[in-house]
Amino acid sequence: MSGAGAYVFWFAAFLAVLTAVGTVAMRSAIRASVALLFHIISLAGLFLVLHAQLLAAMQLIVYAGAVVVLFLFVIMVLGPTPDRSADQRGLLIRAAAGGLMALVMGAISFALISFAPPMLPGVTACPPGAGAECGQFGGVEALGGVLYGSAALPFELVSVLLLVAVLGAMAVARGHSSEDREALKAKKLAQAGEK
Amino acid sequence: MELGLGHFIGLASLLFGIGAVGFLVRRNLLIQLMSIELMLNAVNLTLIAINRWMPGNHAGQVFAFFNIAIAAAGAAVGLAIVISVFRLKKSVQSDSVDLLKH
């Protein structure tokens, strides 16, 4: 995997890291979600380098088209919220936890990038003499065949999962606010008094 | 320069680390949810990269597909919880949710 793929990899990897840091570090949630959008687009580019065309398209449709828009809707519904928490307890331990995690992950990345040899020969994934089906790796036909073949049952179960998630989200988001609850309690008390 | 599997795994672990740091350090519930999405995406990148180096089957890509579906469901439920917390507390800071702490 050299040539054009390598250039796309380095560009998309740089963009992915930059926008991931932006997502985490942005002070306002709306800027963070726009950074997340660009992160998802650059990850779709990486998926294309890895010959996962269908998943790259799905990444764009599901994440960029649905999840980020959902985030933006929620930010719009909530409106401007107080930016900083007044509670500054545990600031030191939080910074220490973050620094430790960054150190561990940085060490793993460094070790993998600098010492790991390519695990398998044949980086191009299709060794010379391979059949035509290898060239279609990750395409709609090949991946769809697996999804409707050996993975058909979990694929159908995903629809049940999404249905349950939608119903659960509606049930959780429709709850009463504290004022509503007070009003409801007062009403019940008044009714009990009448009797 | 030849690209190896280590490049992709290293990048994915870096992205996972950034997401984990964001989840630990930030106190805005929305940004914590976005950090969870960053971590899920890093795992997807790992699965797809390993599948590319073992192209005999599509197991990694199928797992990544289910991962995307589960992440979408998780985002929907998580954002519903954020809305519910905001109704109750008038705040989206996760340290305002401390009912079980006292």
CB atoms B87 and A134 under 8 Å: no
The whole-angstrom distance between residue B10's C-alpha and the CA centroid of its chain comes to: 17
Angle at CA of residue B36, ends B30 and B40, nearest 5°: 145
Residue-wise pLDDT for B43-97, tens only, equals 999 999 988 888 778 889 999 999 999 999 999 999 999 999 888 888 888 888 8
Residue-wise pLDDT for A66-93, tens only, equals 999 999 999 998 887 765 655 566 778 8
CB A98 within 8 A of CB B21: yes
Residues 8-37 of B with CB under 8 A from A: 8-11, 13-22, 24-28, 30-31, 33-35, 37
Average pLDDT over residues A30-41: 94
State whether the Cα torsion A41-B56-A158-A54 is positive or negative: positive
Please indicate if any CB of chain A lies within 8 Å of the CB of B56: no
Nearest CA-CA partner of B60 in A55, A62, A193 = A55
The contacts of residue A90 (CB under 8 Å, 6+ apart) are: none
Find the closest chain B residue to A135 by CA distance: B55
From the list A94, A146, A172, the residue facing B81 with the nearest CB is A172
Contacts of A148 in chain B (CB under 8 A): none
For chain B, list the domains and their CATH numbers.
5-92 (1.10.287.3510)
Residue-wise pLDDT for A146-191, tens only, equals 889 888 999 999 999 999 999 999 998 887 666 677 777 888 888 8
Which value does ipTM take for this structure? 0.93
The contacts of residue B57 (CB under 8 Å, 6+ apart) are: A146
Size of interface A-B (CB pairs under 8 A): 258
Top CATH class, A1-80+137-150 = mainly alpha
Contacts of B83 in chain A (CB under 8 A): 74, 77-78, 172-173
